[in-house]
Amino acid sequence: MLKTLRVVLASSVLYFLLGFLGQYFSISPEYAAIVWPATGFAVIAVLMFGNRALFGLVLGDFLLNLYVSAINYGSSSVGLSLCIALGVLVQAKVAQHFTKNFYKRAFSDARYTLKFIVIAGPISCLISSLVATFSLRFFGFIEPQSLFINWFQWWLGEVIGVAFLVPWVAISFSKFSGTRFSNPRQIASAFVFITVLTVFASYLIYEAEYTKQQTEFNDNAKFSAATLKRRAEGSISAISSIASYVKGSENVTPDEFETFARETLKYENSMQGLSLNLVISGDEIEALEARFSPYYDNTSFIVTRRSASGNLVPVTPSERHVVVSYIYPLQENQRALGYDVYSQADRRYALDKAREIDTAFPTPALDLVQNDLAVLLFFPIFLKNEQNEAFLYAYATAALRVKELTELAITQSQLVSSEFYLVDRKADGSPYILIRQGESYSDASKLLEDEKNGLIQTVYSADIPIGGHTWRMIKINRNSFIHPPWNLHTAIAGGFLISGLVAWLIILIYSHTAQIEHQVLERTRALSKSNESLSQSREKLRLAKAEAEEANRAKSDFLANMSHEIRTPLNGVIGSLTLVLQSASIAKEQRGLLDISRQSALTLLEIINDILDLSKIEAGNLILDRKPVSLTELTKETGELLRAKALEKGLVFNIPSTPLPAIEVIGDPLRIRQILLNLLGNALKFTHEGEVNLAIRARFENEKYWLSMAVSDTGIGLSEEQKRQLFQRFKQADSSTTRLYGGTGLGLSICKEIAALMDGEIHVESELGSGSTFTFEAPFDGRVLFEPVRSLNYQSVVVCVSNNTLANYLASIFEYWKAPNIRVEVQPELENILSKGSTLIVIDEEIWGQWQGDWSSLATPDLSEGTDKLAGVIVLCAKELKTTNTIGVNQMSLLKPVQESVLWDSICLLDRKDQSTRSQSSESMKRTELSGDVLLVEDNHTNQIVGKGIIGLFGVSVDIAQNGQEALEKVQDKKYQLIFMDCQMPVMDGYEATREIRKLPVDSATSASVPIVALSANAMKGDDEKCIQAGMNGHVAKPISKTRIEEVLEQWLRSGDEEQV
């Protein structure tokens, strides 16, 4: 009884914990998880402990679903939790019934493996997934339209849970699997590696997808804000036009106003009407009524107000009245004619504010006389009397229907799960929701408080200027993702499914090997104990050996046949990540994370490929392709793959180190590259300093092109004993090498086998401590490539590199191009060569950085001959391309290792660039030269790069400051002639920094009157005035343009302009 209780308790706790873990793979808005390891545990529990575990599984699932429903939906459902738990019970019982008689054989026999996975996974999981999904629908937790997708995701998550978790238990508990494994620690280590890799990749993919959708939501919300701003600006423009019309006309009649207003309303459907409200005193009421009564035949013109009961009654004369005197359309708005809008407090506040700030100002939302919910927008009209004094004549007024005003901003960019709120403030400052499209918030104060405190997970807000007033647009999303993240679902599900299948494959391989070893051991023991004759003993031993070899061949046949099944899903993952990386919309940080996932998948594929290649070779199933092989592309691709590794170790990497033969061979490019990658990879691995070179040569013999690829290094070298066992399987130089450098020991063995299939060989020349040279040589069919003749127009080519191999390689190329070349390493020789005529320099970036001569003087044009002393410079870079031109002549950068074709293309581009410069030289000399030091104050790294690049185009020196505080420190230490100042920055913003600079003492390096130009993303009306008030001299709106920057530089940096400030 006590044992049963322990089983129940342990199974319920473990099921609950695994289910809780599975919730981390649940992505809204679906209920189900992508991976559900608890199902795999349920199958294992009933197979190991029988029916005693069933009650524990039901209890664990029941408690788990109570918890999940309370967290996700705010309330626990006992009925729902019980139904789902019963589905788990039936599913586990079905899996137990149909697999209990053979499940232990599933870990050593591939036939039973597939049978077990299908029954315990896809078939039995149908039961619990269907029960759970229909229960969720019955209890109202999901909608009918999401029924199928929830069922499918639930079912798939449970299937992956079974495939992923069962191998873990099999290797951890031999009682469950009933199978002996050779070296179980290695298997466990492989499982841990696969699991960690899968979880890490899933996390990276999740973050990338979440960031992508957050960006899309923000862009969508920005579009809504921009649309609403345009509608508000259009309304302001409409009533502004009425004011202009009134100022330019005398004694406007209602008919004239109607004609003008009709044309205006054609373009603004959000306006219910337009009116002109005259400002009068109480003494002028009768005169106004007498003036306008003749114009309105069908109605009497009486100045009215609203009584306490809400009826329209004649006004009581007071100091000021604002009377609706002109209105269009009249028929729909007839009740408003003659109404004194100044008689209502909420409108009076807006009228007074408009008069004070002399611009448009809206009222809060209100019910008009026409019984529509709208906003009145008042625009004051000031005229001048005979004494030339301004007086308030009238208000141009627009009745804005809020629904029509915001409809376009809501409907054109509304997402399925997003909500739209427009918040306004009353005269007393209290907020209220002007209009909303959603049910999450009805209280404006609560909405603003949650936004301020960061309690809304996905939110975007923006201020909407409406004349002299501001509305607040807030857009929120109810879920973490605005669209179902199917790519994320697929990637995570595929990753865990593939990891589970690879784990099963590893179990089969190791268990099969253990069985073979056990069989050999048993046969050997039987032979040793046998008292039969020597001939019989030998015969039995031969038979046992034959059986063991047959079993080994069977293993190899099995692995070779499994090659396609293993590579296909792995390549699917790698291919999908590669396609995602091709998208131009992926941000740099996301691209980096996805690239990590892809490289990790490639590493896993490389390990499996080695094992499968060896198995295919043993089974005789490795077939070579016959395709054209471009030596140029082969070396270029190989160099790009290994360049980073060489750079990381600080090694010189020359691939190729000799000019390539002008031939194209017919062979298997994949296998040739595999050999090259292995030989070069080993050279890089075992070389700590010096260089690694690849020399490719060819000879024509017996109707074949014999290709020789020699990889030499300055590494640790090999002893004679090490060379003898070097090409044996699972062997490296010695056992310590494996521990120190890693690796399976299969690479060279596989390469040698592939070379043999090509009728070639790999041999090694090496001495311990003196480096090694591995040479792959094989015959191929091929043809000679007839390349165009290349020649250079330079009087000399100067090669300045520190590596002899690279120097000889470049010298050979330039000799082939019939160009003289001189290698120099000190500057005086360089100056002597430049004095003789047009020179092209190919130089290492290290030497380039050491020389400190006056390059610009060496580049002085020789106008008499139309050439430069220094025609151009190509800088050979190890890490990254140099983009800054520091010498005033044509300059290009080229990444190592140097490819002949890429070098030629760079020289051609340099020539075109030089011709373009010469054609523009005379015009450039006519332009006003700009000079001076410019300080760019900008906190955004991207904006720093863009700004510095554009400003630097005009030949001025640019320094960067991260914020206003740093700018203040720089201007006191160095004299600047111009400052570009971002407005919004951390630590100290641009406005405060400008005010502080204007207070600089006279002994400061930079003058307090230095020109400061705002560089701001804000481009609304009034922003430039704010900058001027802070003490700035101008305003440039982002995104900045080259033309606008040139105008500013011409204004402030032209010779003598500094005194203008």
Question: Using one digit for the tens of pLDDT, what is the confidence trace for 581-619?
Answer: 656 677 777 776 777 676 666 656 666 666 666 666 766
Report the 3 state secondary structure along 810-825.
Answer: HHHHHHHCCCCEEECC
| Per-residue pLDDT at 888 | 57
CA proximity to 560, closest of 605, 514, 621: 621
Mean pLDDT of 232-241: 90
Match 């004194």 to its residue by tokens: 340
| Per-residue pLDDT at 1061 | 37
For strands 839-844 and 796-800, give the pairing. parallel
CA proximity to 65, closest of 164, 145, 156, 139: 139
Match 């019980």 to its residue by tokens: 82
Residue 630 and residue 647: Cα distance in Å, rounded? 25
- Highest mean pLDDT of the ranges 95-109, 256-270, 497-511, 755-769: 755-769
Sequence-distant (6+) residues with CB within 8 A of 829 are: 822
Instruction: List, for residues 365-386, the tens digit of each pLDDT value.
Output: 876 555 567 899 999 999 988 8
Q: Which of 433-447, 566-580, 610-624, 877-891 has the lowest mean pLDDT?
A: 566-580
For strands 663-667 and 627-630, give the pairing. antiparallel
Residue 398 and residue 411: Cα distance in Å, rounded? 23
Helix axis angle for 588-619 and 184-247, nearest 10°, is: 150
User: In this structure, are residues 1034 and 984 in contact, taking their beta carbons and an 8 Å threshold?
Assistant: no
Whether pLDDT at 572 is above 50: no
**Tokens, residue 628:** 């054209």
| Per-residue pLDDT at 934 | 94
> Does a cis peptide bond (omega within 30 degrees of 0) precede residue 656?
yes
Mean pLDDT of 952-976: 91
| Per-residue pLDDT at 641 | 81
- In this prediction the pTM is 0.44
Whether pLDDT at 520 is above 90: no
User: In this structure, are residues 398 and 376 in contact, taking their beta carbons and an 8 Å threshold?
Assistant: yes
Please report how many Cα atoms fall inside a 13 Å half-sphere around the Cα of residue 994, on the Cβ side: 27
| Per-residue pLDDT at 962 | 92
Whether pLDDT at 676 is above 90: yes
Instruction: List, for residues 999-1037, the tens digit of each pLDDT value.
Output: 999 889 999 999 999 987 654 445 677 888 899 998 887
C-alpha dihedral (13, 15, 18, 23), degrees to nearest 10: -110
| Per-residue pLDDT at 1021 | 47
Q: 1058: pLDDT confidence band, cut at 50, 70 and 90?
A: very low
- Residue length, the chain? 1061
CA proximity to 161, closest of 298, 12, 334, 40: 40
| Per-residue pLDDT at 325 | 92
| Per-residue pLDDT at 457 | 80
User: In this structure, are residues 707 and 665 in contact, taking their beta carbons and an 8 Å threshold?
Assistant: yes
Instruction: List, for residues 523-553, the tens digit of each pLDDT value.
Output: 777 766 766 666 676 777 788 777 766 766 6
Q: In what order do the strands lie in the sheet with 418-425?
A: 431-437, 418-425, 469-477, 458-466
Where are the extended beta strands (E) located within 808-890? Answer: 821-823, 839-844, 861-862, 867-868, 870-877
| Per-residue pLDDT at 552 | 63
Specify the 3-state DSSP secondary structure of 934.
strand
Whether pLDDT at 484 is above 90: no
Q: 925: pLDDT confidence band, cut at 50, 70 and 90?
A: very low
* Percent of the chain's residues with pLDDT above 90: 21
Whether pLDDT at 789 is above 90: no
Q: Which of 193-202, 279-288, 440-449 has the lowest mean pLDDT?
A: 193-202
Long-range contacts of 878-886 (CB under 8 A, 24+ apart): 878/647, 878/845, 879/647, 882/845, 886/855
Distances (CA, A) of 266 to 252, 254, 272, 398, 400: 21, 18, 11, 14, 14
Whether pLDDT at 936 is above 70: yes
| Per-residue pLDDT at 696 | 94
Whether pLDDT at 387 is above 90: no
Q: 565: pLDDT confidence band, cut at 50, 70 and 90?
A: low
Instruction: List, for residues 706-731, the tens digit of each pLDDT value.
Output: 999 999 999 999 888 888 878 776 55
372: how many CB neighbours lie within 10 A of its CB? 16
**Buried b / exposed e across 1013-1043, counting CB within 10 Å, b at 16+?**
bbbbeeeeeebbebbeebbbbbbbbbebeee
CA proximity to 395, closest of 292, 323, 295, 344: 323
Residue 378 and residue 947: Cα distance in Å, rounded? 42
| Per-residue pLDDT at 924 | 38
Q: 778: pLDDT confidence band, cut at 50, 70 and 90?
A: very high
Q: Which of 207-211, 403-407, 481-485, 950-954 has the lowest mean pLDDT?
A: 481-485
Specify the 3-state DSSP secondary structure of 693.
strand
Sequence-distant (6+) residues with CB within 8 A of 801 are: 807, 810, 823, 842, 843, 844, 847, 876
Instruction: Tally DSSP H helices, then E strands, for the chain.
Output: 34, 31
- What is the DSSP secondary structure assignment for residue 51, as one 8-state letter? T
Q: 1057: pLDDT confidence band, cut at 50, 70 and 90?
A: very low
For strands 933-937 and 458-466, give the pairing. unpaired
Residue 869 and residue 857: Cα distance in Å, rounded? 9
pLDDT, greater one: 862 or 439: 439
| Per-residue pLDDT at 573 | 58
Distances (CA, A) of 898 to 187, 333, 803, 878, 901: 43, 80, 13, 10, 9
Q: Which of 298-307, 416-425, 553-562 has the lowest mean pLDDT?
A: 553-562
Q: 191: pLDDT confidence band, cut at 50, 70 and 90?
A: confident
In the chain, the N- to C-terminal Cα span, in Å, equals: 96
User: In this structure, are residues 410 and 437 in contact, taking their beta carbons and an 8 Å threshold?
Assistant: yes
CA proximity to 378, closest of 341, 326, 339: 341
Q: Which of 423-437, 475-489, 554-568, 960-974 has the lowest mean pLDDT?
A: 554-568
Whether pLDDT at 142 is above 90: no
